[in-house]
Amino acid sequence: MDQFETALRTVVGDIGKIVANDGGSLEFTDYQPDSRQLTVAFTPAGNDECSACTIDAAMVRAFLTEAAKAHDVPVETLHIDTPSAT
């Protein structure tokens, strides 16, 4: 595991705590240093009364992008895998 992956695992874990407090989950899946691609698994919190009241994929993307920049980790592509609606 390289220094970038270690930093990203920490970043995803920290943001994952915020997501968990909201009722969702966020997990590190993979980082490809050659292509600078980060993949995470995100399950949003369910809130039928107010979907805008929970953290969504766009917010997770913004958090991760800013956190990676703050830690000087090169991420060019960010994939957020979410469960399919049934």
- Tell me the CATH architecture of domain 3-81: 2-Layer Sandwich (3.30)
Angstrom distance (rounded) from CA 43 to CA 63 = 15
Whether residue 54 contacts residue 31, with contact meaning beta carbons closer than 8 Å, is answered with: no
CB within 8 Å of 57: residues ≥ 6 apart: 42, 44, 80, 82
Q: What pTM, to 2 d.p., does this model score?
A: 0.87
The b/e string for 19-44 (b: 16+ C-beta within 10 A; e otherwise) is beebebebebeebeeeeeebebbbeb
61, two tokens: 């993307």
Give the pLDDT of the chain (86 residues) as one tens digit per residue. 789 999 999 999 999 999 998 889 999 999 999 999 999 999 998 776 766 678 999 999 999 999 999 999 999 999 999 986 54
